Amino acid sequence: MGRRRIVLVVLLAVVGVGGYLAWQVYHRLFGPGPEFKEGDRIVLIPTGSDFDQLMDSLKARGLVADERLFRSLAERKKYVNKVKPGRYRVRSGTSPNALIDLLRSGEQEPVRITFNNIRTLPEFAGKVAGYLEADSAALIQAIRDPSTIERLGLKPETMISLFIPDTYEMYWTDAPAEVLARMAREYKHFWNVERRAKAKEIGLDQGEVATLASIVQAETAKSDEAPKIAGVYLNRLRINMPLQADPTLKFALGIDSLNRVLDRDKEVDSPYNTYANTGLPPGPINMPEARYIDAVLDAAKHDYLYFCARESLDGYSNFARTYEQHLVNARRYQRALNQRGIYR
């Protein structure tokens, strides 16, 4: 074999090997990444994370096969010193190059936060913080900040009415201040011109509507009966009759598990004792849902002043115009409880 031919063969071999190696590198960086049988994977990058911490997280999630090549590409894309916090969804088969582009873009996948059946602000904070980077302590601190409450035109007792139970999309990195700003926008959107006009028509402001709605919500799980119960309470308010709402006593006592209220419970010294005090209590006793707020705004018009649970214990109520008829209904209900051995 001639010398030139040998040189040519060697050169071709070098080029071939170099090309193969280059293809391997290209394939590792731009070709399909790991396949996930269990579906997409979520990457959480806490605020303040550096690239080394990110690498540890990616490797733990099985998203980086060759750390050296991944780091090299990240350096070329000027991402190493620009790590952005967030919650990112990585699809099965995502290449290292596409992964870096995703993380570099900062385009987080929103989280869907659903909250309902909330009784207290700490309970709300704990629920929402479960979806976010911020912890519940930071969130409740922001909620109870006097300057925030004043700026929103609310009171400590009515602050809970800012949050309308529903499903919302937020970002994992949203700070407590951003959560409150979002909820304030939703509150303003909810209390549109029509709802404000209805509140004015029944003689209540927004906070008072929420307070009454919270009582109605505590009284019944039957949405179709809520406007009728709301009508009873509005009738009592109009004649300055005590609301005599058992849920407010339970709130004052700090006990939500009572099935029946006794006479001694009605002696509790609290502004939430609606047996001893006329008018509405200082604020909501839970976080009222939109359907109960609307039940108050669209309260049924009737002349009932009393109601109590049916003796069938089916969740519905018997209504009465007179106290005498109410006592008849109440005795039926009490007998039903006694028969079932329910004394508290």
The domains found in the chain, sorted by start residue, are 29-105 (3.30.1490.480), 111-190 (no CATH), 204-339 (no CATH)
pLDDT score of 94:
86
pLDDT score of 15:
42
Neighbours of 209 (CB within 10 A): 26
Closest of 190, 160, 127 to residue 288, by C-alpha: 160
Q: Alpha-carbon distance 319 to 302, whole Å?
A: 11
Closest of 233, 240, 248 to residue 299, by C-alpha: 233
Q: Alpha-carbon distance 32 to 28, whole Å?
A: 8
pLDDT score of 24:
42
Residue spans of the chain under pLDDT 70: 1-38, 257-260, 343-344
Question: Where would I find the H helices in 159-313?
Answer: 176-190, 193-201, 206-219, 226-238, 246-253, 290-297
pLDDT score of 14:
42
pLDDT score of 31:
43
Percentages helix, strand, coil for the chain, rounded to the nearest 5? Answer: 50, 10, 40
**Burial level of 48, CB count in 10 A (0-12/13-18/19+)?**
exposed
Cβ-based neighbours of 200, under 8 Å, separated by 6 or more: none
φ, ψ of residue 272 to 5 degrees: the values are -90, 5
pLDDT score of 22:
40
Q: Alpha-carbon distance 96 to 119, whole Å?
A: 46
pLDDT score of 8:
47
| 291-318 residue pLDDT tens | 999 999 999 999 999 999 999 988 899 9
For residue 93, is it left (φ>0), alpha (ψ between -120 and 50) or beta?
A: left
**pTM reported for the whole predicted model:** 0.85
pLDDT score of 257:
65
